[in-house]
Structure 1
Amino acid sequence: MSNPRIFPIADDALTIEFGQAIDLGCYEQVRRLEQALLARPFAGFLESIPAYASLSVFYDPEVVARAYPRFPTAQAAVVNYVEGLSHAPWTESVEAHREIEIPVCYDLRCASDLPLVAQRCGLSVAEVIAYHSTPTYRVFMLGFLPGFAYLGLVDERIAVPRHPTPRAQVPAGSVGIAGRQTGVYPTVSPGGWQLIGRTPVPMFDPQANPPARLQPGDEVRFVPITYEAWLDATTQTQ
């Protein structure tokens, strides 16, 4: 692993940063460190939250201080522990990625921004669909809404920015693009991403375990379906 930057974000949390870009190499370092930490947690460890190029670690300061009294503060003890893990030889295999297919209807009735994306990129609608549905995406992290997964990397040829002004309401299941990110809105919500499709698959179920369909590290492919197939599947899931 490269030398990360470690800094506090609260009295009971710190972040280990491997870079400042959406990059698969950085994310693999995040993933390795998280798995090493989960395999060998320190006393007082509570949870870890991965992002594109960083891992945030939360802990109980009182438990840490009691377990590692030679350090002046609990934070110093956690920093020392994390630094040791980040520099230790990696001997464990990285947990296998789940491979998940998500059906997406790219029909214009489900893709309000698709013509604008095509025009902006100098492509046909069919080309935008092909460039979006061909890659296998990695789930980098969850955020914004329960079950909202940030996926990348979107093909540079269709990497369009967010809308300057977000919509007040985006339908659940909408598939959007924001730069080199793509994702699915799990519930009705405001949102500024460019909407190029819609899936009938529920992305969040509070009764399921885990409730979010996608998890960090998953590999995802979007599979085009017809409007009729989307309509039928949507009816069945309601």
Structure 2
Amino acid sequence: MKPRVEVVALDCLMVRLFDEISEANMPWMLAASEGLREAFGNHLIDLVPSYTTLMVHYDLMALNPTQARELIAEALIDLSPNARAKGKCHVLPVWYDLSVGPELTLLSRRSGLTVPEVIHRHSEHEYQVFALGFAPGFAFMGLVEEILAAPRLNTPRKKVAAGSVGIAERQTAAYPLVSPGGWNLIGRTPAKLFDRERDGYSLLQPGDTVRFEAVSHAEFINLGGDDTPLETLA
């Protein structure tokens, strides 16, 4: 690992730790996040993690760019992953059904697997939460098995229901709110992924892990799920 610092804005620097996406990156990303928060202290406005980078937004009234770079270098000295710095493991119930996951058939055709096999493969893996973005509480997770990977839709949908679970390339995610979207939808979770009353707002945070658990329609409804078919969304 050879960290590089890149300029994003007058008061933002990007720390690039890796060039390739890997689940093995996360312990190092968490260790670097902890070190940067300690080094910048009250002068840190925001720290935004992604798959391979950490964006450092600092107080330009307190630090100049040279000082910010010095703090970054200080934070990354003798960096080592902290085995104890692990996020939470979440189990998200999912109702996998064509009425809410119309791309189940598409993924079945692309992969050569049956729809039940697609569901089994997606739900048997524990996914790493790499980053939050796109919408409040939208967690980018991976890595999906290559056999299930599929490109985004050529034409994004104008409206995707909250809780919709999808796949894009080797990423998977659940939409926290009703929004446009172009991911391949395979099911829906009743979990409340974004809540203004929750500390941190988002249920999922970088460093957490997620396992999707297939549930029946009855279980989905009992858990508060909305089974409105995708095509009937107003």
TM-score, normalized by the shorter chain, greater than 0.5: yes
Whether the 8 Å contact between 1:98 and 1:218 is mirrored in structure 2 is yes
1:219 matched residue in structure 2:
209
Letter in 2 for 1:7: E
Q: Structure 2: how far apart are the matches of 1:11 and 1:42?
A: 19
Normalising by structure 2, report the TM-score.
0.91
Report the CA distance shift for 1:93/1:39 in structure 2 as closer, same or farther (over 3 A): farther
Write the deviation string for residues 169-193 of structure 1: whole angstroms up to 9, x where unpaired.
Answer: 1111000000110000011110000
Over 3 Å counting, the alpha-carbon distance change for 1:235 and 1:119 in structure 2 is closer
Counterpart code for 1:205? D
Work out whether 1:143 is the aligned partner of 2:133: yes
In the alignment, structure 2 segments of 5+ residues that lack a partner are 227-234
Task: Give the alignment's Cα RMSD to 1 decimal.
Answer: 1.8
| Residues 28 and 80, structure 2, Cα contact 8 Å, conserved in 1 | no
Against the structure 1 CA distance between its residues 94 and 56, is the aligned structure 2 distance closer, same or farther, given a 3 Å change threshold? farther
Secondary structure, in 3 states, of the residue corresponding to 1:213? coil
Q: 1:141 Cα deviation (Å)?
A: 0.6
1:16 matched residue in structure 2: 15
TM-score between the two structures when normalised by the length of structure 1: 0.89
Structure 1, unaligned stretches of length 5 or more?
A: 65-73
Question: How many corresponding residue pairs?
Answer: 226
Specify the code of the residue in structure 2 equivalent to 1:5.
R
Aligned to 2:48: 49
Displacement of 1:134: 0.5
1:164 Cα offset (Å): 1.0
Larger gyration radius, structure 1 or structure 2: 1
Kindly state the Cα deviation for residue 226 of structure 1 after the two structures are TM-superposed. Answer: 0.6
Call closer, same or farther: CA 1:213–1:42 in 2, change over 3 Å.
closer
How far the C-alpha of 1:86 sits from its partner, in A, is: 1.5
Residue type at the aligned position of 2:22: D
Once the two structures are superposed, residues 48-89 of structure 1 have per-residue CA deviations (whole angstroms, 9 ceiling, x without a partner) of: 11000000001112211xxxxxxxxx1111112212222325
Partner of 1:188: 178
Equivalent residue number for residue 113 of structure 1: 103
CA distance in 1, matches of 2:125, 2:70: 39
Q: Is 1:124–2:123 an aligned residue pair?
A: no
Task: State whether structure 2 residue 187 is matched by structure 1 residue 197.
Answer: yes
Identity %: 37
Change (3 A) 1:230 1:179: same
